[in-house]
Amino acid sequence: MLVAMALPTAGVLPAFAVEELRAADTTVVEKGYRAAGLRGSEVRNDRKERIGVIVDVLVYRDLPAAVILQIGSLLGVRSHLIAVPLKSFALDESGSDIVLPGATREALEKFAEFMFRS
């Protein structure tokens, strides 16, 4: 059975710069952190105070990755989300000890609240 599909007209799809298809350098990639492994992890400051929990990690094509951090109460009451650049965090090799040096709850509460689009 042949199924007809409507194709978009010219100019409807955005133009993308075409780059050469190539594999990532596995010796570099294997040292990375899995976003799924970071989700739900507690974040502490350099004084070992708990300051939040990682909700998600957002990656962008041409921008640095951002960590979505839930800050506020332990039970989620009066808590909100903020976005912090991934490069601001210090992580050990396993990704189990996540530190945001110099952070305090008071300072993070002044960050703009982050909301997912959908």
Domain extent listing, the chain: 34-108
* Residue-wise pLDDT tens digits, 37-90: 889 999 999 999 999 999 999 998 889 999 999 998 655 567 899 999 999 999
| CA gap 91, 72 in Å, rounded | 22
Q: How far apart are CA 118 and CA 57, in angstroms?
A: 15
Cα–Cα distance for residue pair 89/35, rounded to 1 Å:
14
Domain 34-108 has CATH 2.30.30.240: yes
Give the pLDDT confidence score for residue 9 in this predicted structure: 54
- Centre a 10 Å sphere on the Cβ of residue 87 and count the other Cβ atoms it contains: 10
pLDDT in tens, 104-116: 988 999 999 999 9
